[in-house]
Chain A
Amino acid sequence: MKLRPDIPGAIYKRSLFSWVWTSNLKLQGSLLAIIVVTVFVRVLPLEMQKKIINLAIGDKRLDLLLRYCTYYLVCVVAASGLKLAINSLQNYIGQESLTDLRKQLYAHILTLPMSFFRKASPGMVVSSLVSEVANTGEFVGQAIAVPVTNLLTLFAFAGYLFYLNPLLALLSMALYPVAVLVIPTLQKRTNRANKKRVDTGRNMSTRIGETIAGIQEVHGNASFRLENRRFGAIADQLFHVRVIWNLYKYTIKVSNNFFQNLGPFILFLVGGYLAINGRFDLGALVAFLSANEKLYDPWKELMDFYQVYQDARVSYGRIMEYFEGDPEFLMEPETPRPPAVLDGRVSAHELVLEVGGGIQLLKGVSLDIAPGQMVALVGFSGSGKSTLAMSLCQILKYSGGSASLSGLDISAMPKSDVADNIGVVSQHPFIFAGSIRDNLLYSLNARREAHGITNEAGLPTLDELIAVVQQVGLFTDILRFALNSVFKKGRKENLVKKIIRIRQAYQTSHGEALADSVEFFDPARYLYYSSVAENLLFGTPEQEDLAPENLAGNPRFIGFLHDCGLKMFLLQVGAELANRTVDILKDVPSPEAIFFERTPIDPEEFEDYRDLVGRLGRVRLHKLPPEDERRLLTLALRFTPGRHAIVTLSPILEGLLLQGRAMLAERIAADAPGAVTFFRREDYLYSMTLMDNILFGRVKSSNPKILDQIQKTIVSLLIEEDMLERVLEIGLDFQVGSMGDRLSGGQRQKVAIARAFLREPPILILDEATAALDNASQARIQNLLETKWKGKSTIISVVHRLDTIVNYDKVAVMKAGRIVETGTYAELMERQGVLHELVHGNPGRA
């Protein structure tokens, strides 16, 4: 006998039951064995009940009473233990199958064609994988155990009832057929409601996903009400759908109960009559009543299971329907073999790409590229140049004509071969959360993983990594990340020691030259580029309540401000800062972060301070409630005169703050020695960045040229001290944030270029890969392509800015899905055709 039915390879074609067959069958078998024992120990107590009443109590025999009661107890304990075992096994089997389903579904979704993702919303995919699949798992866990246990129990109880009295048994079960008729009808309606619930739930996920992705727009337009209303509408809809769905579910439960409760009524009537007439003994009647009552348990569990099955069927069906679709390409070679090695030859013949509605994005494109050639695809936007490039690397699938890599048909090649041989940089590259290093190695790691490499093989050395980083112009960015990092005390102690040494060397060699751009930490001087709090503390707080952001809420510190006569001054400064900021920004609709660079107020605090300013007009400073006082002091303590130019630091306050610095140091030395480590040239300043530490001061300017200049001097020093690599490593560990949002557009593109370069593929496809870069970086990459890559790898570059294509081997000019001219730049310009028009503009149109 064949145990497993044929299970289709494509996940979306699999039935719900197929997951039962692929679940852990060994465990399912053990489960069945336990079930058989359970049924036995469930029925036995009934017989004991009868014997206790008829034999032990009836004959007044204590020994029998004790014996039967012991049997009874053993059965009850065993039944509970076994029930726990069944539930645990069920749970394990279910969760295991659920995990299996999730993994397979995820793997399937990733391979779906690009066209699917253009329509699918991330929210939808998330809710399918995270929540909707859950009841399938629950079902698989229960699929064998629950029906078998309960049907067996049901039959065992029913058999026992017939054994006691066939007539009564028939009567008490007369109602079950009615239930079997009514409940499925109700269930159908429940299913319909459930489908609606699933769909509405998805709409909600989509909406949430969209709002979160577009949160910048929401904040930009302060469209909170609009978004709340939209979400509210779906939430209300979900409310209705869920209420109806639950109503149906409860109706089913109630009807079940009703049928169940009618049972004893008939029993009492008929059984009582028979007992009165002496045709039925009392023990049997009690056993009968118990058995009848116990019939309800398996019945109820069967009904619950029926619901689980129906719910799972609905969600499962919906999920598989949504993700229906096959990958457009073979993922891996059908029989394992080493990856194909391509020479870089690319050719396309009469290539057509048609999308829905019969629109042709490529209308018969032919192109031959020799290994190592550098080819530019140019044309007006919408001419199909990106589409062509994407069709050559299997990101899009062409619908007609043929294309090949080293003579191999692209449409038949496994994706793994294409990925092993082509590096693609897109115009808007995606950066994943993690470190810069993770992102640089993403492509390499993807291929290593695909080939099952677990050791270090294929990874670049730090030197190689740094070399590529330098080539693409990411060096300064990474250095800046490193220089802006703050170390926790006790970490990187060796480095810290060296930094202190560098600081001294730096001071000697560059101190004077940088005096204009850097404000050095000097205990005798006020620091205009540090906050008031930093000026007062002049050290690294070792206690949480002395951290600058916590000072305004620290009563001891407020007491100190009061004692040294600073409190009213600072309240006044806070009030001025709040007034000025609100006055300037009150007319700016939905101000974003850039508008808060010159004020100590954070964007999310603006509304609070606007209200506070309203109150300040009515109440004197000394009568402010404590909460408002705290708010104003917070601003004053953040006040950094060099950055927050809206308010002036008066010489009197400056003097007082310097006095305050000395007084605070004394007070801390007396009251809480060690609570602050004061800045000393011999120590590492743990609250400051690496840069601040090297400089023992802060850069005053935000001018990138000055920052660059300072960085250059630091780099040369780091090189002298043989520490550059060590520092760059710290920069490589910089966390780029979710979707790389802590990187600028240019940085993201450089990371993407570097990660393609690191693989050194025989074919490079660049889809406007340098569009987000400034002129210098663009020129650097262009130069790199021409000197390092030309002749070595085939380069297909979709180019928007035409000043970069002069040295390409071949330029293919596209217009409306066709290549209209091909040749070198010089040839095409001489021909005065479309390229000439693109470069010089069409005089008629200007």
Chain B
Amino acid sequence: MNSSMEIREGRESSCDFSRALEILRDLPLFSGVSLEGIKVLAYLAVAESFSAGEVLLGQGEKMDAAYFLLDGEVAVSRRWGDTEKHLYSREQGAFLGGLGLLAPAKSLFSVRAVTDVCCLVLGREKFLKTAERFPGMLPKILGNVVEHVFRWEENFVRAHAEECVDRSSEMGLTLF
């Protein structure tokens, strides 16, 4: 690593607060959350780098942080038995693992860095401690999650109408 790169990194992380604030404010998950709360989340979020090939999140691992891709590319995959199947890639601006902030669920997918990746990482503990202190925060986020789930199922049933009728017993996530 050359010296100019190192200096750039140091500077970059040192101006992260305002950038982190902008990023979090634009995320649908945090839509409607008060600025005071978002400020604290942005302040607590940390920029982390991952080298190409490194696993950000492994299938079956507890999700305990959310990642916003500042730079680089990640691949999302899932293992069925012994075979690992690549599902899709995500680039700068993608947000992954938001649900992991709310509860320590085990990830159904693996997320791996394809190139060197820089992420803004917000850990669950930090998030929950902040949410505890801003009582309006969790209901807003929960509302956003519900909205997302409804939108997802609506799009799904619309796009796969026939399949849905065949596998009707598996439908109805939004009726949970």
Please list the residues of chain A having a beta carbon within 8 angstroms of any beta carbon in chain B. Answer: 515-516, 519, 525-526, 528, 580, 583-585, 587-592, 594-595, 597-598, 641-642, 644-649, 651, 700-703, 705, 774-775
Contact = CB atoms under 8 A, between A and B. Distances in A.
Contacts of A642: 10, 13-14
Contact of B13 (A591, A595, A645): A645
Interface in B1-55: 1, 3, 6-7, 9-11, 13-17, 20, 36, 39-40, 43-44, 46-49, 51, 54
Interface stretch (B78-86, B125-133, B153-161): B125-133
Given A516-B1, A641-B10, A775-B62, A646 B17 contact: yes
Contacts of A647: 14
Which residue among B3, B10, B47, B134 has the maximum number of chain A CB atoms within 10 Å of its CB?
Answer: B10
B11 A648 contact: yes
Contacts of A641: 10-11, 13-14
Contacts of A701: 48-49
Contact of A595 (B15, B20, B129): B129
A649 B13 contact: no
B17 A703 contact: no
B40 A584 contact: yes
B61 interface: yes
A749 to B, nearest CB: 17
Contact of A594 (B10, B14, B51, B126): B126
Given A516-B51, A587-B40, A595-B44, 18 more contacts: A516-B49, A528-B9, A583-B39, A584-B40, A587-B36, A588-B40, A588-B134, A594-B44, A642-B10, A645-B14, A645-B16, A645-B17, A646-B17, A648-B11, A648-B15, A649-B14, A651-B11, A702-B48
Most chain B beta-carbon contacts within 10 A, residue among A580, A597, A646, A647: A646
A146 to B, nearest CB: 62
A394 B75 CA distance: 55
Nearest to B135: A589
Given A516-B51, A703-B48, A774-B62, A584 B43 contact: yes
Contacts of A598: 43-44, 46
A700 B129 CA distance: 25
Interface string B57-87: 0001110000000000000000000000000
Contact of A526 (B10, B48, B62): B10
Interface residues of B, number: 34
A648 B126 contact: no
Contacts of A587: 36, 40, 134
22 contacts: A515-B1, A516-B1, A519-B6, A528-B13, A528-B14, A584-B40, A587-B36, A588-B40, A588-B133, A591-B133, A594-B44, A594-B126, A595-B44, A641-B10, A641-B13, A642-B14, A646-B17, A648-B14, A649-B11, A651-B11, A703-B48, A775-B62
B49 to A, nearest CB: 7
Interface in B97-137: 121, 125-126, 129-130, 133-134
Contacts of A648: 11, 14-15
Contact of A702 (B1, B40, B46): B46
B39 A584 contact: yes
From B3, B15, B61, residue with most partner A Cβ within 10 Å:
B15
B61 A775 contact: yes
Contact of B40 (A592, A595, A644, A774): A595
A592 B47 CA distance: 22
Contact of B43 (A646, A705, A775): A646
A645 B15 contact: yes
B1 to A, nearest CB: 4
B65 to A, nearest CB: 10
A516 B48 CA distance: 11
A597 B39 CA distance: 15
Contacts of A700: 9
Contacts of A597: 44
Contacts, number: 80
Majority SS at the chain B contact face:
helix
A587 B121 CA distance: 22
B29 to A, nearest CB: 20
A80 B56 CA distance: 84
Given A516-B1, A595-B44, A775-B62, A589 B133 contact: yes
The 6 closest A-B pairs by CB, nearest first: A528-B10, A515-B1, A641-B14, A587-B36, A645-B16, A648-B14
B109 to A, nearest CB: 16
Contacts of A775: 60-62
Contact of B17 (A515, A580, A651): A580
A789 B20 CA distance: 50
B130 A588 contact: yes
A125 B54 CA distance: 54
B78 to A, nearest CB: 18
B125 A594 contact: yes
Contacts of A583: 39
A705 B10 contact: no
B10 A649 contact: yes
A579 to B, nearest CB: 12
A647 B62 CA distance: 33
A659 B3 CA distance: 18
Contacts of B11: 641, 648-649, 651
A641 B49 CA distance: 16
Nearest to B106: A775
Nearest to A641: B14
Residue among B43, B61, B62 with the most chain A CB within 10 A? B43
A479 to B, nearest CB: 22
B131 to A, nearest CB: 11
A585 B44 CA distance: 11
Contacts of A590: 133
A646 B9 CA distance: 15
Contacts of B130: 588
A777 to B, nearest CB: 12
A83 B99 CA distance: 81
Nearest to A516: B1
Nearest to B15: A648
A592 B13 CA distance: 24
B3 A525 contact: yes
Nearest to B129: A594
A647 B10 CA distance: 12
A641 B13 CA distance: 8
A774 B57 CA distance: 15
Contacts of A595: 40, 44, 129
Contacts of B51: 516
Nearest to A520: B6
Contacts of B36: 587
A515 to B, nearest CB: 4
A800 to B, nearest CB: 15
Contacts of B126: 594
Contacts of B15: 645, 648
Contacts of A594: 44, 125-126, 129
A644 to B, nearest CB: 8
A42 B51 CA distance: 94
A528 B126 CA distance: 24
A595 B6 CA distance: 27
A775 B3 CA distance: 40
Contacts of A526: 7, 10
Nearest to B121: A703
Contacts of A774: 62
A700 B20 CA distance: 19
Nearest to A599: B43
Given A515-B1, A516-B1, A641-B10, A592 B39 contact: no
User: Which residue, of B13, B49, B134, has the highest number of chain A Cβ atoms within 10 A?
Assistant: B13
A267 B50 CA distance: 102
A594 to B, nearest CB: 6
Nearest to A587: B36
A216 to B, nearest CB: 13
Contacts of B43: 584, 598, 645-646
A729 to B, nearest CB: 32
Nearest to A522: B3
